[in-house]
Every structure is written in structure tokens, then in C-alpha cells.
């Protein structure tokens, strides 16, 4: 098994025609001591596939931030054990089925082709593609450590699989290029000790002590909006060594299955968000639509619904018969949008209509603060769309104002009009252009105008007792837009002012500070450094003296969007006698009142409340606020878009090109 390095430090010959295989990150199963004994008996009886109940699995709930050092050390030990090179030692039924589906989805490869497998979990996954393609195909395994390659090589031998033309690629240059499920070593070539008794690792064991003192410091969280390496950079690093011909992942197995059952499908409805990007594709949902259309052919009706803040592309347009989106911001018309989508699809299947999609792309981008459909210019746009939908031949009309912090090509507003039949296309095009021009002509009204922080705090301080609270919004640090919620800019300004009469409520994402509060205990007073826990290039920390009022470890039920939210450990602290801050291990999107209510803090009775949201919060906070002030604060999701370092936008694009005179390029309409 030859070893080479993949990364900036060393680049051997560039293989041609490689197929990139990206295994799903749920191939791993960790088990407890009783399961280890059960597994040994099963293997001795020749049963290599078995089930493990969650009751026997201490890591069934993936929550490394809440586990503590002992449990993290245990997990590392289990992980090492699970990668045992013994044949069949950790092949579960689900993993085996998933692996077979994934391998079946791969194309046939001729002798001399190269297959790149990125970070398989142990040798289990590597065995199957090696068996399928044999010695004639060069098999390259990209891993973090030579130890991992040793495991994989030994596993191939145990399974009687040849290691001829098997090459090991190490990620080099100090960066792990492919994310693991939740944590990523920053120094992948450092050696670590092995836990020989995986069931009894703790911080008191040699491995546990090593993990806590050394190895843990090389770990960075990677289930957050900003990964250490962007998808574009990741693909670029892979392309240094391989010219990637095709990419395959477990999701493609579902497509292979769909090919077999497509004859039983009459139509397809896709409820999509419309703003996803992956390692290799910045228009993921467009790619999904294209692949589905390739399976179904042109005759099968396909309709998709989208969030108002999606980025609608020409690729999406080509694959769809109809597309509609939300008409509300904050988004409250989920059900109505779904109902209208299904009505169009049902009428199409009944032969009553023949939907055709018209799309006008605008060369303008605006921040979400201006998208409120209850007030301002967006309300006028929605009124135009609703009026258009009353006209004969118009089935649906939608405005798309993309999420403004996606740094991807083809970003810009869209007007979508779904018409009935070819004869209505010309009218639909005319109306789409009319509404697009209407939006363009009032583009300046969508610009963000914010209140200086000092002025906003003066207004909040003057809020009389008993009045509704002043709601301040720090949109530049909104977790729902991609930030971490770790800005201490407002907190620092508060500490430089005289105290307010009433309570000032705010949130902060800072796992280290939250754990320090938990260690001190309720009622304790301690000195903390809070802020800038994740985004030090935007925010600095602030030194505070805080009294711990409450500790909360439970999740809470969110109203927007509905579902259970687990922010990890939360500590409610009091600062300077009037500031109540909720310090959480993970982000809390303050789109509704639940982050405060679930922490024992009533925002309705506060003098002022700070929320970190650009616009969605208005659906809940408008009714409790005496005033809402949008703060002029820095951050990675700043609404003043020209201040952000975009690199991939398609130009020209307003407001970056302020003198842009024409709102669109030559239009496209499907025919």
C-alpha cells in the first residue's frame, strides 16, 4: 500500500478520470461493554450482521458538547475499537445495506481508472468497492493518519481482498479537508495513543489524560455555519491531486432505486428551501432537480415550492414545470404554499391545466431587513403578485429575494410566474417583466438604514417603567442567517453606560463561559470573558463579573420554525444589576420568544430586549414592542452588503455595482 500526501505540502502525479466516492457519515456505530460481549459471541457463531439497540449505545444521542471529558474520552476509545481490522467486526445491518446501495450506484470503471475514497470509517467501507472493481482499478484512500491506513490495509487482508494498486493519501498542510460527523482534527498528522480497553476510558486513564491535555486542543467544532474550510476550498484541494470525473454519495443510491419505481409515479412535488450548497455543488437543489428530471424524462410533471429567500437558478428553471414560493416574511404561509402547490399538481394530472414556468432574473440583491411583507416596499410587491394571480391564465406568481449572505454565483432576485399553457406564456413574460421592473425601480427603498448603537441605547434607557420593551435587533450576528450569536458589541456598550432602571435581556453563544458558570454553580459570582468565542475576526471578548441565576440543560420547543431546539447547557447570569444574559453552548435563533421564556426570562416585562435576527423575529416581537430599532453593528451577516467580502457573486450586481443601469440580461423563458 503506497503512501502519498494530499494537500499543499506534497503533490505527486495528478491522476486522471478519478471517481470521488464520499461515504455517508453515519456508517459508524459505537456500543457499550455488554454489546462488545454479544458481538464476540455473534462473530464466533458466524453471524457478522446484527442489530444494536440504542439502550445499549451510550452515544446514541450525538451530543459531544454536553458529554464532558470522560465521555468524550470513552467515545474516542470506542471509535478506535470500532475501526478494528478484524473481518466483519463492526458491520451492522444498516451499514451493510447502505454500503451495498452506495456501491451499486457507482458506474463501471475500466482498468487504469482511479477511485478516490475520502475518509472511510475503518476498512469496512473500503472492502466493498475494492471487491467490485478488482486490482485493475487504482484505489486511493484519503485519510488523516498513517494509523488509519494501517487499519484499512489490514482489513483488506483479513477479508482476502488484494492490496495491489491500493494507495494511501494523507491530508497534509495542517488542515483536515473533509469534515467528520461533528469534530475535526486541525493537526491530522499528529500521532495519538490507542485505548486498549475502550469500555473503561476516562480522564483518569492514560488515554483520557492524553486526550484532555493534548488531543482535545486540536479539535474544533464543525457543525456550524462556518466550517474551517469552505466547500469551494475543499473541492479545490481535492482537485490538486485528482481530476474528478464523477462524484458519488449514498444519496445517489436513492436515485438508482427511483429508476426502478418511476413507472408507478404520476407526478413529483418537491418542497425545497432553495439555498443549499455542498462540497462540490453551489446549487445543490438545482442539481437534485436536474438528476430527478434525468430519471423521469420530460413528460412527468415536477413542481417545487421554495422559501422566499432561496436563490432560484436557471438550472432549477429548466427542470421544473412549475415553481411557487412563500408570500410572507416572517414566513407564516407554509400550509397555504403547500396546498396551492398540490392544487396545481392535481389539476395538471386531471388534465385541467398545463403549467408553464416563466422566470425573470434581476441583477439586484438586498438584505433581509427590507423583506418584511407587513410593511415597506415588499408589501407593495406582494400586492402586485396577488393581483396578478386573479388574472386569467395565471396560476401562481412569486417574488424571490435570496438570502443575502450566500456567496455563490447567480445570486439575485427572481420573479416566477406559472401560467396555463403555451398561449399564456407571452402574457406571463410581460407581467414578470413588469413586476421585476417595479422591484428594480424602488431598489433604493430596500437598502438598510440602521440606528447608531449609542442612540439606540439612549432610546431604550428612556423607555418609561411599565411600558412595552424596546426591541433592539443585532442582525449582523443573526444565527438564523449563518452567524454564531457570539457578538459582545452591545454588551460592551452597555457596560460603558449608567445602568437602566429595568432589565435588559440578551443572548450569547459561548460554550466555555457556559461551562464555567455551571462549574461555579447557581448563586456564585465569577469573572468571565465572553464574546468572540467563534468569530474573533469580527468580535472581541468582554471581561465581566457575573452572578449565576439559573442553569438549564433541557431543550425547548420553538414556534418558528416549529420543532425542538437544543442549545446545550444554558446559564442565565446577572451583570451590573440589570443585564440578564443567557449564555448558551450552541446558537439560539431569537426568532420567537421561546429562547427567553424557556430560560425563565420574560421579554414582555423587560425594559429592553436584544434579538439577533434580521427580520423573522418581527412575527413575534412586534406585538410586545413599544419600538423596534435595527442596530448599526458589525458582524458576518451585516445587512450593509457592500461591507462584506463576497468573492463568488456574478457581476455586475446591484448594490455592489451602484451605477448598474439595466436590471437584467437577456431573459429566458422555457419553451
Residue 247 lies in a domain: no
Task: Kindly state whether residues 545 and 623 are assigned to the same domain.
Answer: yes
Task: Kindly state whether residues 529 and 604 are assigned to the same domain.
Answer: yes
Percentages of the chain per state (helix, strand, coil), in multiples of 5: 35, 20, 45
pLDDT band, very low/low/confident/very high, at 414 (cuts 50, 70, 90)? very high
Residue 156 lies in a domain: yes
Decide if pLDDT at 251 tops 90: no
Decide if pLDDT at 219 tops 90: no
570-575 and 542-552 strand pairing? antiparallel
Is 180 in contact with 174 (CB distance < 8 Å)? Answer: no
For residue 367, give Cα distances in angstroms to 350, 355, 455, 557, 621: 41, 31, 22, 28, 19
Residue 659 lies in a domain: no
> Which pTM does this prediction carry?
0.58
- As for how many domains the chain has, the answer is 3
Task: Kindly state whether residues 199 and 287 are assigned to the same domain.
Answer: no
Range of the domain at 302: 266-446+664-669
Would you state the pLDDT for residue 192?
29
Task: Kindly state whether residues 435 and 456 are assigned to the same domain.
Answer: no
| Higher pLDDT among residues 495 and 195, named by residue | 495
Task: Kindly state whether residues 99 and 53 are assigned to the same domain.
Answer: yes
Picking from 327, 635, 309, the residue whose alpha carbon sits closest to that of residue 487 is 635
Q: How many CB atoms lie within 10 A of CB 485?
A: 28
Each residue's pLDDT tens digit, 51-104: 333 344 444 444 555 555 555 554 444 444 444 555 555 455 545 665 666 677
Residue 650 lies in a domain: no
Decide if pLDDT at 541 tops 60: yes
Residue 546 lies in a domain: yes
Task: Kindly state whether residues 458 and 426 are assigned to the same domain.
Answer: no
Would you state the pLDDT for residue 372?
86
| Higher pLDDT among residues 14 and 30, named by residue | 14
Mapping DSSP to helix (H, G, I), strand (E, B) and coil, where does residue 452 land? strand
Task: Kindly state whether residues 460 and 427 are assigned to the same domain.
Answer: no
C-alpha cell at 395: 396560476
DSSP string computed for 62-115? --HHHH-HHHHHHHHHHHHHHT--STTTT-BHHHHHHHHHHHHHSPP--TT-EE
- Mean pLDDT along residues 381-400: 96
Residue 246 lies in a domain: no
Segment (H or E) for 505? strand 504-509
Burial class (CB in 10 A: 0-12, 13-18, 19+), 621: buried
Is 23 in contact with 250 (CB distance < 8 Å)? Answer: yes
Task: Kindly state whether residues 431 and 488 are assigned to the same domain.
Answer: no
Cα gap 310→411, rounded to integer Å: 9
For residue 611, give Cα distances in angstroms to 436, 548, 556: 32, 21, 17
Residue 648 lies in a domain: no
Each residue's pLDDT tens digit, 478-523: 988 878 899 999 999 999 999 999 999 999 999 999 999 999 999 9
Task: Kindly state whether residues 442 and 455 are assigned to the same domain.
Answer: no
C-alpha cell at 574: 446577572
Task: Kindly state whether residues 413 and 363 are assigned to the same domain.
Answer: yes
Task: Kindly state whether residues 396 and 541 are assigned to the same domain.
Answer: no
Task: Kindly state whether residues 218 and 133 are assigned to the same domain.
Answer: yes
Residue 458 lies in a domain: yes
Mapping DSSP to helix (H, G, I), strand (E, B) and coil, where does residue 312 land? coil
Amino acid at each position: 500500500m503506497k503512501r502519498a500526501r494530499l494537500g499543499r505540502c506534497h503533490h505527486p502525479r495528478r491522476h486522471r478520470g478519478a471517481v470521488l466516492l464520499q461515504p455517508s457519515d453515519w456508517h459508524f456505530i459505537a456500543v457499550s461493554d455488554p454489546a462488545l460481549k454479544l458481538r464476540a459471541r455473534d462473530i464466533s457463531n458466524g453471524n457478522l450482521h446484527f442489530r444494536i439497540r440504542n439502550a445499549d449505545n451510550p452515544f446514541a444521542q450525538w451530543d459531544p458538547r454536553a458529554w464532558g471529558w470522560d465521555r468524550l474520552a470513552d467515545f474516542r476509545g470506542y471509535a478506535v475499537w470500532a475501526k478494528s481490522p478484524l473481518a466483519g467486526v463492526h458491520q451492522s445491518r444498516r451499514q451493510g445495506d447502505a454500503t451495498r446501495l452506495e456501491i451499486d450506484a457507482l458506474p463501471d470503471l475500466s482498468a487504469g481508472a482511479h477511485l478516490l475514497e475520502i475518509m472511510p470509517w475503518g476498512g469496512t467501507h473500503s472492502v466493498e468497492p475494492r471487491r467490485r472493481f478488482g486490482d485493475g482499478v487504482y484505489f486511493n484512500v484519503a485519510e488523516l493518519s498513517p494509523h488509519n491506513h494501517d487499519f484499512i490495509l489490514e482489513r483488506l487482508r483479513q477479508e482476502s481482498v488484494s492490496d495491489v494498486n491500493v494507495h494511501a493519501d494523507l491530508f497534509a498542510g495542517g488542515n483536515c479537508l473533509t469534515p467528520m460527523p461533528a469534530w475535526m482534527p486541525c493537526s491530522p498528522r499528529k500521532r495519538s495513543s490507542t485505548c486498549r480497553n475502550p469500555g473503561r476510558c476516562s480522564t483518569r486513564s492514560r488515554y483520557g489524560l492524553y486526550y484532555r491535555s493534548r488531543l482535545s486542543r486540536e479539535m474544533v467544532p464543525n457543525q456550524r455555519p462556518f466550517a474551517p474550510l469552505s466547500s469551494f476550498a475543499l473541492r479545490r484541494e481535492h482537485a490538486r491531486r485528482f481530476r474528478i470525473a464523477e462524484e458519488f454519495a449514498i444519496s445517489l443510491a436513492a436515485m438508482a432505486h427511483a429508476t426502478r419505481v418511476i413507472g408507478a409515479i404520476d407526478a413529483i412535488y418537491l418542497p425545497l428551501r432553495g439555498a443549499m450548497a455542498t462540497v462540490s455543488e453551489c446549487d445543490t437543489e438545482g442539481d437534485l432537480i436536474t438528476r430527478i428530471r434525468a430519471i423521469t424524462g420530460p413528460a412527468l410533471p415536477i413542481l417545487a415550492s421554495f422559501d422566499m429567500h432561496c436563490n432560484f437558478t436557471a438550472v432549477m428553471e429548466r427542470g421544473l414545470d412549475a415553481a411557487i414560493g412563500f408570500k410572507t416574511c416572517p414566513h407564516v404561509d407554509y400550509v397555504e404554499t403547500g396546498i396551492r402547490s398540490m392544487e396545481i399538481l392535481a389539476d395538471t394530472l386531471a388534465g385541467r391545466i398545463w403549467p408553464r414556468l416563466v422566470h425573470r432574473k434581476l441583477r439586484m440583491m438586498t438584505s433581509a431587513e427590507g423583506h418584511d411583507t407587513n410593511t415597506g416596499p415588499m408589501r407593495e410587491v406582494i400586492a402586485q403578485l396577488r393581483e396578478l394571480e386573479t388574472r386569467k391564465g395565471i396560476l401562481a406568481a412569486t417574488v424571490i429575494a435570496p438570502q443575502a449572505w450566500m456567496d455563490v454565483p447567480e445570486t439575485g432576485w427572481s420573479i416566477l410566474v406559472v401560467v396555463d399553457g403555451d398561449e399564456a406564456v407571452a402574457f406571463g413574460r410581460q407581467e414578470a417583466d413588469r413586476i421585476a421592473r417595479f422591484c428594480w425601480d424602488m431598489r433604493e427603498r430596500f437598502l438598510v438604514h440602521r440606528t447608531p448603537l449609542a442612540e439606540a441605547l439612549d432610546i431604550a434607557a428612556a423607555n418609561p417603567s411599565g411600558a412595552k420593551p424596546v426591541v433592539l435587533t443585532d442582525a449582523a450576528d443573526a444565527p438564523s442567517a449563518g452567524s454564531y450569536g457570539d457578538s459582545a458589541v452591545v454588551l460592551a456598550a452597555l457596560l460603558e453606560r449608567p445602568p437602566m432602571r429595568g432589565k435588559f435581556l440578551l443572548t450569547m453563544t459561548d460554550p466555555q463561559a457556559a461551562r464555567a458558570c455551571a462549574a461555579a454553580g447557581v448563586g456564585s459570582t465569577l469573572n468571565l470573558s465572553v464574546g468572540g468565542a467563534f468569530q474573533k475576526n469580527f468580535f472581541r471578548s468582554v471581561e465581566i463579573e457575573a452572578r449565576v441565576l439559573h442553569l438549564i440543560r433541557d431543550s425547548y420547543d420553538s414556534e418558528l420554525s416549529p420543532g425542538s431546539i437544543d442549545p446545550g447547557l444554558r446559564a442565565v447570569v446577572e451583570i451590573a444589576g440589570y443585564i440578564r444574559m443567557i449564555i448558551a453552548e450552541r446558537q439560539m435563533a431569537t426568532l420567537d420568544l421561546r429562547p427567553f421564556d424557556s430560560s425563565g426570562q420574560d421579554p414582555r416585562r423587560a425594559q429592553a430586549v436584544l434579538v439577533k435576527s434580521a427580520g423573522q423575529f418581527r412575527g413575534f416581537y412586534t406585538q410586545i414592542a413599544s419600538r423596534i430599532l435595527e442596530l448599526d453593528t458589525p458582524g458576518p451577516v451585516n445587512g450593509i452588503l457592500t461591507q462584506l467580502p463576497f468573492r463568488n457573486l456574478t457581476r455586475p450586481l446591484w448594490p455592489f455595482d451602484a451605477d448598474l443601469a439595466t436590471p437584467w440580461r437577456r431573459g429566458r423563458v422555457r419553451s
